[in-house]
Structure formats: C-alpha cells, structure tokens
Amino acid sequence: MKVNILNPITVLHIPHSASFIPVEEREYILLSEKELAVELLRMTDWFTDELFISNSKENEVVCYPVSRLVLDPERFEDDSLEIMASRGMGIIYTKTSEGRTLRNVPDLNIRKKKIEQYYYPHHSQLLRRVESILSKNGKALVIDCHSFPSSPLPYELDQCKDRPDICVGTDPFHTPVWLTEFLKTSLIKRGFSVGINCPFSGALVPSKHFEKDASVAGIMIEINRGLYMNENTGNRLSNFNSIKQTACDVVSELTQVFSNNNP
C-alpha cells in the first residue's frame, strides 16, 4: 500500500530549526551580538526544516517559528519535571551551552506570558495535526526531527566524544520495538553508524496522549551536523543534498512501514 499524500499518517515535528529571535525578546538576552551569534550557531538544529521535508508533501509538518533560546517547546512546562532545568535549560533558558548567564530568571508573570505566547500555540498545533490523523487513520506517527553537534557541548548530559552519524530516540510506551529496529537497519544499510538513545534520548508526542494512547507512536531522528554542514561557519557542505535525500527517503520508508503495519 502506497502512502496517500492526501491522507497523511505522519507528523514531522521540527522544534529547533529556527534562529529567529523577535525584537521584543532580544532585550532579555544578556549576550552581545557576537556572543549571541556563536550561541545560535551551537544551539540551532540548522537546516532540519529542509533536511527532513520532501517535495512530495506526504507528511504533516509542525515547525517551531522562533529560536529555542526564546523558549524551548520540547521541555516540560514544569521545571520540576525537566532534567535540563538543573543546567539552567528548562523551558526558558537562563544559561548558555557553556554555563554562562543567558538571561536573568524570569519572574512568574513573564514566564507565564512567554509560555502562553510560544509554548501553548505550538503544542496546540501539534495536537490538532495528530488528532486529525487519528480521526482518519486510527493511528498516527510523530517523527521528532533534530540534529546534534559532532562534539558534545558542555551543557550536554552525554559527554562521550565518540558520536554516531545518526541518533535514534525512543520512548518505552510510544515507540514500537519493530519500528526502532526497522529504522536502525535502514540507516545501517545506507552506511551510517547509529546510536539508540545516544547521545540523546526520548521521543515526543502530544501531552494529551503521553503514556495514555499507544495509537500515537513517536520516534526521534537526530543527524550529526558534521555530516552536512561546517559547524564553525554554519555553511552547508557539498553533500548536503545527498544527506537531505537520504533523510527524506528514510522518513518515507518509516511512514510506509508504519502505515502498512497492523499490530
């Protein structure tokens, strides 16, 4: 069965591709323009809004429009539940990737305003797309699309310097084992080294369905930035289009096998 592009079953969730910081948010960030440019270069999942999206438009796409330095839509809203809050990188970052001060701790009113302005609309959009797919197909797949630096940044929990080409993140409730194995095998056949939940772990689904509804599946794909860009300049490498084609092919295969599987 071929995937019907008029009735998609997969949502590509792209949360960290943007480097845009609205003017009204810039005043809260305590870095110089040069320092901010460096931090954006390090922390942005560059080109993931291109790498994973094919011209066929067979998937729904939810792409966060502002930089994660404004607010990170992939963190838990409650910092007490968020492991990265201990590094000053909860839902609103107060520390840089090197542990320097990024902004002052926002008061409760500012925090509430930012969450209402950025976090809720993004997650509402994701939920709408997923539930629309569920209503038509009875199941939905969220592919969380990321990239990661070829060498660990100081804030990262996993400091192992030997990093794979591709990291696959899973969730024990929402990621079927067969889906993980299919993706891993597909990538290895293409010559890539693969880490499962290494150096990053987990897979995002809408909070309404989290650990409640197994018909919403989730898996994360993270591409090592050293494969497709110069991490010092931010420029694409000459093989960028080849990596993009591979990413799109893998997403298409994953969508196809998920669509055809009847557990």
CATH number assigned to the domain comprising residue 186: 3.40.630.40
How many angstroms separate the CA atoms of 12 and 145, rounded?
7
Greater model confidence, 101 or 6: 101
Q: How many domains is the chain partitioned into structurally?
A: 1
- For residue 142, the cross-strand partners are 11, 218
Residue 166 inside a domain? The answer is yes
Contacts for 261 with CB less than 8 Å, ≥ 6 apart: 176, 178
Residue 101 inside a domain? The answer is no
Residue 76 inside a domain? The answer is no
Residue 122 inside a domain? The answer is yes
Burial zone of 225 (CB within 10 Å; 0-12 exposed, 13-18 middle, 19+ buried): buried
Q: Provide the 10 A C-beta neighbour count for residue 203.
A: 24
pLDDT in tens, 167-203: 999 999 999 999 999 999 999 999 999 999 999 999 9
Residue 82 inside a domain? The answer is no
Q: What is the mean pLDDT of the chain?
A: 96
Residue 78 inside a domain? The answer is no
Average pLDDT of the segment spanning 161-168: 97
In this prediction, residue 103 carries a pLDDT of: 98
Residue 81 inside a domain? The answer is no
Question: Which ranges of 28-94 would DSSP assign to H, the alpha helix?
Answer: 33-43, 48-51
Name the pTM for this structure.
Answer: 0.95
pLDDT in tens, 3-49: 455 579 999 999 999 999 999 999 999 999 999 999 999 999 999 99
In this prediction, residue 215 carries a pLDDT of: 97
Average pLDDT of the segment spanning 40-63: 94
Length of the chain: 263
Average pLDDT of the segment spanning 100-108: 98
Residue 77 inside a domain? The answer is no
Average pLDDT of the segment spanning 52-60: 86
User: Nearest to residue 47, comparing CAs of 243, 184, 183?
Assistant: 243
Q: Which structural domain, as residue segments, surrounds residue 17? A: 10-28+45-71+114-260
Average pLDDT of the segment spanning 140-163: 96
